[in-house]
Amino acid sequence: MRRKAVVFALAFAATLFAVSGAASKSSKATFDVHVGDNFLPPLAQPSIARAANGDTITIVLTGTFNSGAKSASGSGTFVHMHGTTVLATGTLTLTRTIAFQSYGCGVAPDGSTFPSNFCGGRVLLAAHLVGHPTSNPNATVARNAVFEVNCQVHSTTFSPPPGTGEGIKLVVKGGPNFNKHVSGANLFVQTASASTHSKPKHPK
């Protein structure tokens, strides 16, 4: 599984060379990342991914990342389920940024106008999971993982690459591999050079 996770990360990083200049201008900025955390109405529901065996993982997370510094911080919660049965619950903590492909900012997935610091892209984040199996709530299981967040917000000059879609994926060291988007909405908010859409100017 470790080899699969490394291959997954390298394959994703290789796609960054295809990003246009218009989309990559903000790629080394600092972003807040919102995953199903009710930051806006579209984010009112958690994001869900599915593994090949049918298991699902539901994640709510708020954090920050910077691809230039390879840094990331923030945390959230997860629920691991098989059908309607809860297998485990726990927390997910971001530890660093692996790679980021920017789609640009300012245009919502439906084509409407967003604030200029509302951005999209696909980011790979290293994460640490601490879970508690429902079969033994007093037990603690810790795993490292690669967490992918995809947001389809983009710029007026760049569109998300074909085959990408809004959602999350989670590759857990030792398994399982939640590699299928199910539902949910995500958002990146640029904070390093935030526009006046989200940060009002204060009088001197």
Q: What is the pLDDT along the chain (204 residues), one digit of tens a residue?
A: 444 444 444 444 444 434 434 444 457 899 999 999 999 988 999 999 999 999 999 999 999 999 999 999 999 999 999 999 999 999 999 999 999 999 999 999 999 999 999 999 999 999 999 999 999 999 999 999 999 999 999 999 999 999 999 999 999 999 999 999 999 999 999 997 634 334 434 444
Residues in the chain: 204
Give the pLDDT confidence score for residue 193 in this predicted structure: 62
User: How far apart are the C-alpha atoms of 202 and 68, rounded to whole Å?
Assistant: 29
Map tokens 């610091």 to a residue: 117
> Quick check: is 201 in a domain?
no
> Quick check: is 202 in a domain?
no
> Quick check: is 198 in a domain?
no
Read off φ and ψ for residue 3, nearest 5 degrees: -65, -40
The residues, ordered by sequence, that sit 6+ positions from 164 with a Cβ below 8 Å of its Cβ are 122, 150, 152
Give the pLDDT confidence score for residue 5 in this predicted structure: 44
Map tokens 């690459």 to a residue: 161
> Quick check: is 204 in a domain?
no
The residues, ordered by sequence, that sit 6+ positions from 158 with a Cβ below 8 Å of its Cβ are 20, 22, 23, 103, 104
Give the pLDDT confidence score for residue 122 in this predicted structure: 97
Structural domain range at position 143: 2-190
Structural contact between residues 61 and 200, judged by C-beta atoms closer than 8 angstroms? no
Tokens of 182: 């199910």
| Number of domains forming the structure of the chain | 1
